[in-house]
Amino acid sequence: MSTIKEEVEAFMAPIRKRNPNEPEFLQAVEEVAETVLPYIAKHPEYKKAKILEKMTHPERAISFRVPWFDDKGEFQINTGYRVQMNSAIGPYKGGLRFHPTVNLSVMKFLAFEQTLKNSLTSLPMGGAKGGSDFDPRGKSDNEIMRFCQSLMTELFRYIGADTDVPAGDVGVGGREIGYLFGQYKRLTNEFTGVLTGKGMSFGGSLVRPEATGYGAVYFTQEVLKNVGDTIRGKTVSISGFGNVAWGVAKKVEELGGKVVTISGPDGYVYDEKGVTGKKVDYMLEMRSSGKDKVKDYADKFKVPYFPGKRPWSVKVDIAMPCAIQNEVDVDDAKELIKNKVPYLIEVANMPTTLEAYKLLKDAGVVFAPGKAVNAGGVATSGLEMSQNSLRMSWSAKEVDEKLHQIMIAIHKTCVKYGYDKKAGKVDYVKGANIGGFVKVADAMLAQGLV
Ligand code: 2IT
């Protein structure tokens, strides 16, 4: 009998060989393999059909040139991507990211995570991700528009309301979705629900802007409830100050908790009194300024600012990384453990390195993975698709209630597949990975060798 470690190594060896120089993708696959392989061992039908192996091959990975003129009239070129990972349970679905760190590895890890995440939502959505290494920082509105139009001029031939439905992610918000939608409509002469996160005047859904953050806090509520605890009175550290961090801050305040940090690429701010009220709205102002830094918050509200630092050394009750992959490393994990932070709730996609996760787990920190916690964003995109198909729109209350129920159900799924009787606690990583895997795997089995 081989150990789990040996089994994971044997599984990973050909994947490493096939995907050299793709550390993020390999990291995401390895984390899933560690928990799903032992499950597959008890389900020979998945093993025989090589379901998990197949899931690591994108069904299609597209990369293309995106030429555009900047405001000085200079020629600029970026790379655009769309990785269509898995369409077993529905049309491809997942965000577009504009960020200088975007490359094929990042796209593939995100598309792989998205496949399991979308399955967890219980809605019929396959997994995809796309974007570009374009850096929106400091770009004018016209430059953003020209870039979006050029990207869509190539992307439009691969997507469609029943084929692949992109949305926003880091660096892509309502403004970018508007420009992308306009160009798609112009090229195809069709007004369809081909993108989500649209403006309210052209098919968007209420609560979609708040959904990722709200969903994350609803999930956190369930995690706490499960151990007889609540958010009321808890201090929370968050990283980032974008759309997701904003939604988290709003909901934490509403439920009586207190967010005490936000961060940007320039450093973090510590606001002992809490990021509340007008200060939450100011996050949006900072975001739309395009400056990508949080020092302005510290200057405006006269709170301490720590340049070049991440917020994980602050002693809090709940740490919620909301920014980007691998933003919590081994040193950060040691700080969190030293400060006895009881909960690490991932809100970004894979914000914790594999090594940091293992340290936190061994130290008994309750750890919830991004693919479960942040699924409320894409779930509400799924609700936007439903509304577009119905040619109707639901009230904010209706959407919020559906979102809340979906997050409660995802938590239940995590408990179902992740509860460890011997330890008397839930392994959320295991629960989310197996819970997401099963539905996709069953659909893949049923559809044969495709
Ligand atoms: O990571 C994510 O789940 C997203 N960026 C949202 C994707 C979507 O299709 O709404």
How many whole angstroms from its chain centre is CA 136?
A: 19
How many whole angstroms from its chain centre is CA 307?
A: 26
Q: Are 60-191 and 209-373 in the same CATH fold?
A: yes
Shortest-distance atom of ligand 1 to CA 375 = 3
Shortest-distance atom of ligand 1 to CA 93 = 9
Per annotation, catalytic residue among 93, 108, 117, 129: 129
* Single-letter residue type at 77: I
Give the Cβ contact number of residue 98 at 10 Å: 26
pLDDT of res. 290 = 82
- Enumerate the domain spans of the chain: 4-55, 60-191, 209-373
Centre of ligand 1 from the C-alpha of residue 42, in Å: 32
Looking at residue 40, the DSSP 8-state letter turns out to be H
Ligand 1, residues at Cβ distance < 6 Å: 93-95, 114, 117, 167, 169, 196, 349, 374, 377-378, 381
CB 346 within 8 A of CB 368: yes
pLDDT of res. 387 = 98
CB 180 within 8 A of CB 80: no
Q: Over the Cα atoms of the chain, what is R_g?
A: 21
Q: Which two tokens stand for residue 151?
A: 């990207």
User: Which of 210, 378, 388 for mutating ligand 1's site (highest number of atoms within 8 Å of CB)?
Assistant: 378
Name the pTM for this structure.
0.97
* Single-letter residue type at 111: A
Query: pLDDT tens digits for the chain (450 residues)?
Result: 679 999 999 999 999 999 999 999 999 999 999 999 999 999 999 999 999 999 999 999 999 999 999 999 999 999 999 999 999 999 999 999 999 999 999 999 999 999 999 999 999 999 999 999 999 999 999 999 999 999 999 999 999 999 999 999 999 999 999 999 999 999 999 999 999 999 999 999 999 999 999 999 999 999 999 999 999 999 999 999 999 999 999 999 999 999 999 999 999 999 999 999 999 999 999 988 888 899 999 999 999 999 999 999 999 999 999 999 999 999 999 999 999 999 999 999 999 999 999 999 999 999 999 999 999 999 999 999 999 999 999 999 999 999 999 999 999 999 999 999 999 999 999 999 999 999 999 999 999 999
Q: Which two tokens stand for residue 192?
A: 């369809």
Contacts of 197 (CB under 8 A, 6+ apart): 167, 168, 173, 174, 177, 204, 208, 209, 381, 384
Q: According to CATH, what is the number of the domain 60-191?
A: 3.40.50.10860
pLDDT of res. 439 = 98
pLDDT of res. 291 = 85
Centre of ligand 1 from the C-alpha of residue 302, in Å: 34
pLDDT of res. 350 = 98
**Rounded Cα–Cα distance for residues 198 and 206 (Å):** 10
pLDDT of res. 6 = 95
Q: Is 412 a catalytic residue?
A: no
Centre of ligand 1 from the C-alpha of residue 376, in Å: 9
CB 435 within 8 A of CB 414: yes
Which class does domain 209-373 fall in? alpha beta
Centre of ligand 1 from the C-alpha of residue 46, in Å: 27
